[in-house]
A and B are shown apart, each in its own frame.
Chain A
């Protein structure tokens, strides 16, 4: 038994190799994910960061296999050693909910508006685990309590519209965790929420992950969200990972100009009022007609001739083998941590004032 567990610890829960996801559209083929590889071990969190359209949400849905009909995927996704990339829907259903699960961005749209909370939680319990009604109800009550919902018995009888955003996201988390998945995808879990509630939900996800030894992929556009919460951080741009490193390593010395620009675009509390934000000029590239060379080159302050013709491959940092980046002319500057990002691995202290936290 214990030997088995060590095996599990040494073998990645998730191995993704050269994952490519394309959508056929009227305009042409959309290259949403372009050759992404990573490993994720048990109990670890990978933060995936990028701006809108960088392919970060598509990445998590591609790995999980929740794709619309016009998508094609190639490459390899191995979950606990088994290839799941092009598994049949029937096989995937045995993974979804029980082995991997997802917390969605907007809990209002991800909950069924006309079903009571109780049914939405117990549904998958009935589906996967042959539970009696009473057992399922008890399990649901325990789940709601564990995600910090006061008066769970009353909440069970309510509909989603009777709850606040933070409460709904707690329900979403309870639903996602109902069947004890070993891998959780959190797709921008706090983007639709009030700032005051964001930290609470992130804390909840983190504590759930620790208690259950789950692996987690935390997708966000906010470096501040993953700081202190992710073990590793992958920065995505135009469907590719452009930089990936353990979180502390990344914040100690980011090498890709895009990562650096993302970092600089976070407002800092110590800046005087009315300081202009360091926004990243230009727009992300069109995923149908990608430019030749490095896709960040048109917006990159350091871009040179070579960048416009030659797409850089992911290469490891000289001193740190686990720090990879895709850039011909990497920056080598230590950015002083912005507020909300503490290099010591502590969660950011955004809006953690308990006097504000009543509306979750």
Chain B
């Protein structure tokens, strides 16, 4: 024993044992950097919009409606109500992303927990939860979100004084509920796969409790898949909010989201297409960046798993 240990120690410096076992670090492709740069820009603008020298997004500032980009110092022009398009795009991005990230956070936490439990405890509770996820997924997401929004908003004509949540919270809740089964299912599937691994049995053999196994052994392995779906989820939620906006179920005017801006711009599509295209381009780039980074995470995750 002593002998072999001594040999190992002696050999170790000569053979760079780690070199051939650790996968070579792949450089991030240029697309990843572009995606990250775009998202950083959007998030930065959203976070610090109040501190930037921007016009009030809800006040008419231009001399006329549908002012072309570049005129009167408004880089992106003005919309049909003479409001600053740049300012509205930035504040709209803040609302769109805020709603999407808030909704996915709800889905991530609640859906993730439900998915972990239903994947680990394969009893009737776990199976009923799985059936519930399937049922929720079978309902068209937009229809579900729309019904939730209208129920939560209530009827301002019939009950004008009734308590109601701020509209942005209603949207976050509605889209959050829609994203719960999505994240729950992915988490459940991954939990089921990881729970059968030998290291889970090994942890049990060391006397680990179910909670410890679930959160300390399995969860770290499931997180990459959850992160992948969460990034896609944010992208889907941004688009879903746009869908709600076109159905008139998004924020109340004059607040802006990218969806509301697209909806506002569609009447002037022929005269001033830039009003509609600016939020479309912003949505497109954001969704694409999120999808791209999500795929990147998934690929890395897959590679690591196949290397085991």
Query: Which of the 9-residue segments A120-128, A216-224, A310-318 touches chain B?
Result: A120-128
Residue of B nearest to A358 (CB): B11
Give the distance in Å from the alpha carbon of A316 to the alpha carbon of B220 in the complex.
53
A-B contact sample (20 more), CB < 8 A, given A106-B198, A163-B17, A359-B11 = A64-B205, A93-B207, A97-B205, A97-B206, A104-B202, A110-B199, A113-B304, A114-B221, A123-B203, A123-B212, A124-B207, A148-B5, A162-B21, A175-B206, A176-B206, A179-B207, A200-B1, A203-B1, A203-B4, A358-B15
Taking the closest CB of chain B, its distance from the CB of A11, in whole angstroms, is: 24
- Chain B residues, Cβ within 8 Å of A150: 5, 8-9, 12
A88-112 interface mask toward B, CB cutoff 8 Å, 1 = contact, 0 = none?
A: 0000011111100110101011111
**Interface residues, chain B, CB within 8 Å of chain A?**
1, 3-5, 7-12, 15, 17-18, 21-22, 122, 197-199, 201-209, 212, 216-217, 220-221, 304, 307-308
**Can you list the 8 inter-chain pairs with the closest CB atoms, starting with the nearest?**
A358-B11, A97-B207, A96-B207, A97-B206, A150-B9, A109-B198, A124-B206, A148-B5
Contact check, A104 vs B198: say whether CB atoms are below 8 A apart. Answer: yes
State which of A164, A176, A179 has its C-beta within 8 Å of the C-beta of B21.
A164
State which of B8, B207, B221 has its C-beta within 8 Å of the C-beta of A94.
B207
Chain A contacts with B in 55-76, Cβ cutoff 8 A:
64, 66, 69
Give the distance in Å from the alpha carbon of A354 to the alpha carbon of B3 in the complex.
7
Chain A contacts with B in 127-160, Cβ cutoff 8 A:
127-128, 148, 150-151
Can you list 17 A-B contacts with CB-CB less than 8 angstroms, sorted by A residue number? A64-B205, A93-B207, A97-B207, A104-B201, A109-B197, A111-B199, A114-B221, A123-B216, A124-B206, A127-B212, A148-B5, A164-B21, A175-B202, A200-B1, A207-B1, A359-B17, A360-B4
A interface residue count range (under 10 / 10 to 19 / 20 to 34 / 35 or more): 35 or more
Give the distance in Å from the alpha carbon of A148 to the alpha carbon of B5 in the complex.
6
Contact check, B7 vs A358: say whether CB atoms are below 8 A apart. Answer: yes
**Interface residues, chain A, CB within 8 Å of chain B?**
64, 66, 69, 93-98, 101-102, 104, 106, 108-115, 119, 123-124, 127-128, 148, 150-151, 161-164, 172, 175-176, 178-179, 200, 203-204, 207, 354-355, 357-360
Taking the closest CB of chain A, its distance from the CB of B125, in whole angstroms, is: 14
- Chain B residues, Cβ within 8 Å of A114: 220-221
Give the distance in Å from the alpha carbon of A127 to the alpha carbon of B220 in the complex.
19
- Known interface pairs A123-B212, A150-B12, A358-B15; A110-B204 also in contact (CB < 8 Å): no
Contact check, B205 vs A204: say whether CB atoms are below 8 A apart. Answer: no
- Chain B residues, Cβ within 8 Å of A178: 206
Taking the closest CB of chain A, its distance from the CB of B195, in whole angstroms, is: 11
Contact check, A111 vs B307: say whether CB atoms are below 8 A apart. Answer: no
